[in-house]
Amino acid sequence: MTSLLEGARKLVTRGTDVGARIEGLATATEAARGRLDDELVDRAATVVDRGASRLRLSAHHTVVGIAGATGSGKSSTFNALTGLELSAVGVRRPTTSWATACVWGTEGAAELLEWLGIPPRHQTTRDSMLDTRRESNALEGVVLLDLPDHDSTEVAHHLEVDRLVALADMFVWVLDPQKYADAAIHDRYLAPLRSHSEVMVVVLNHIDTVPEDRRDAMVEDVRRLLAADGIPDVPVIPISARHGLGLDSLREEIGRRVADKRMTAGRIEADVRAAAAELRAAAGDAPTRTLSTDRVAALDSALAEAAGVPAIVEAVERSARWRAGRATGWPLISWTSRLRPDPLKKLELDLGADARTLRGSGTALPQATAVQRARIDSEVRALADDVSQGLATPFAESVRAASTARLDEVGDRIDTAVRGVDLDATRLPVWAGAVRVLQWLLVLAALGGAAWSVAALASGGLSDLPRAGGVALPLLLLGGGVVLGVLLALLCRGLVSATARSRAAAADGRLRAAVSEVSAELVVAPVQAELTAYTAVRTGLDRALA
């Protein structure tokens, strides 16, 4: 595709934006693949390929196809325009399904003729002949094709006409006074090519067989039929190829358009616009969008709740309070807290050897209930519905499919992610360790005072004990150690609570971040990819249709 688009870029340097249009359609086509109907996308891709290929070929030649029904005088018109009586190879219309080509100016035409698929034996060149007539110069740069009859009973003829109609830069449709209203040409070619009116000319041949007083009326009737086909502006030229009537007008019309050097670009633009219009009709014109942070946050919150994150966070807070409280409490009482299990253990959370991350079997974490799993499913689908609202059915369906494609993996992946989170639930803060040391020093002081008092009492020397403020020092040590220890424990409760809340908040953030990573990979990223593809389609089509 890149090599083909190089030709499009070269055409841009010649003053046209057709290359940008092709690139836009190519972008839209690639993004639409697998999302819009395959046949529709294939047709658009063919237009991209064909247009880019044509731009790589001769820019000095214009391919003009002459098409018509059996008996319309199409070949006679071809011979009259060439001014040649062709030899046995190409004088008469070939009985095969091949078209005949006459080229004015062969330089650079060989590759173009090969691309058109015209065999050498069906090619005739004017510049190889000693012909200096004015009409020859007027059609300089023309590759004139005499196509097989489009209404032939030979299927091969139909296929050849369809193939070359898709490749020609300009069309000359030859009609016959007896069959100009035939639905075969109107329904099969003229109406479907309504977007190509700027590269078409209609010829009413055998006009000599029509009484002069009826000719204008017949031409007007042809114009009426063309207007019904959606191409009211296509020129209608009455001619008689046999007698030479109107041929100068036809030759001048072709020469004028060829000299304008717009037929090739015009034909490609018409193809690109038609293909882009088809894609837009299927893709819709809803505004592009992206996932909002609020919707993603709601999904992450639902997944976190289903994974038991709130319960784990609560257990972390209680565990941190339990551990810090036991460390900072009065040791002679706080030991009783050992009789109560760690709140994390109560949830059957296996804290591994490092006592920091969750380990164990799949049943170690709080299991998502059916209601919680239903909420996950509901939130994922709600996210897809919200973001796809207003999109055409194919893209809305692709968004929904992307959102649920890996839904079955979410539970296990979140479970694994949560187990890898460092809860930091068991590490004591430095201040708590210092308080623990101080509490034990106070206990030792109280015990020392008590022992000292007992010893003095036993020896009958209480009156001889040293005093401080009128109070015996052993009693002061005993009472002070107990009172200060209790007061210190009470004073530390606020710090214990603050520490527990801080640890819980930190654990909550890490757990939700782990859940968010899984959500982003399994749900958010696939949905965003579809929205990005839709944006690429819309942007590409805007360039193609600009």
Q: pLDDT tens per residue, the chain (546 residues)? A: 444 444 444 444 344 588 899 999 999 999 999 999 999 999 999 999 999 999 888 888 899 999 998 888 888 899 888 877 543 333 444 445 678 899 988 888 899 999 999 998 888 887 654 454 544 567 888 999 999 888 777 888 888 898 999 999 999 999 999 989 988 899 999 999 998 988 999 999 999 999 999 999 999 999 999 999 999 999 999 999 988 999 999 999 998 888 877 788 889 999 999 999 999 999 999 999 999 888 899 899 988 988 888 888 888 888 887 777 777 777 766 655 555 666 666 555 544 434 444 544 444 445 556 676 777 888 888 899 999 999 999 999 999 999 999 888 887 888 888 888 888 777 777 777 787 788 788 888 878 878 877 777 777 666 666 777 667 777 777 777 778 877 877 778 888 788 888 888 988 999 999 999 999 999 999 999 999 999 999 999 999 998
As a whole number of angstroms, the distance between CA 305 and CA 384 comes to 20
CA dist., res. 149 & res. 146, Å (int): 9
For 145, the 3-state DSSP assignment is strand
d(C-alpha 181, C-alpha 223), whole Å: 11
Under 8 Å between Cβ of 405 and 309: no
Measured between alpha carbons, how far is 480 from 471 in angstroms, rounded to an integer?
11
Burial 22-48 (b: 16+ CB within 10 A, else e): bbbbbbbbbbbeebbeeebbeebbebb
Query: What's the pTM?
Result: 0.74
Q: Is 129 helix (H, G, I), strand (E, B) or coil?
A: coil
Cα 12 to Cα 7, 55, 422: the distances in Å are 9, 10, 58
Tell me the residue ranges of DSSP E strands in 121-188: 123-125, 142-146, 170-175
Tokens representing 456 are 């003095």
Full strand arrangement of the beta sheet holding 62-68: 123-125, 100-103, 142-146, 62-68, 170-175, 200-204, 236-238
As beta bridge partners, residue 19 has none
Tokens linked to 409: 């993996």
User: At residue 290, what is the residue type?
Assistant: T
Neighbours of 424 (CB within 10 A): 16
List CB contacts of 192: < 8 A, sequence separation 6 or more. none
**Pseudo-torsion of CA 494, 496, 498, 502, nearest 10°?**
180
Torsion angle in degrees (nearest 10) through CA of 467, 472, 475, 480: -30
**If you search the block for the tokens 């399904």, which residue do you land on?**
97
60-260 has which fold?
A: Rossmann fold (3.40.50)
Please give the Cα distance from 313 to 401 (Å, whole number): 33
Task: Report d(CA 126, CA 105) in Å as an integer.
Answer: 7
Q: Is 38 helix (H, G, I), strand (E, B) or coil?
A: helix
User: Do the bridges between strand 236-238 and strand 358-359 make them parallel or antiparallel, or are there none, so unpaired?
Assistant: unpaired
Nearest-CA neighbor of 391 among 528, 287, 527? 287
The separation between the first and the last C-alpha atoms of the chain, rounded to the nearest angstrom, is 21
Q: Which residues pair with 238 in a beta bridge?
A: 204
The Cα 371–Cα 377 span in angstroms is: 10
Q: In the chain, list all ranges with CATH 3.40.50.300.
A: 60-260
Q: Where are the beta strands (DSSP E) in 168-314?
A: 170-175, 200-204, 236-238
Pairing of strands 200-204, 142-146: unpaired
Based on its alpha-carbon atoms, the radius of gyration of the chain, rounded to whole angstroms, reads: 44
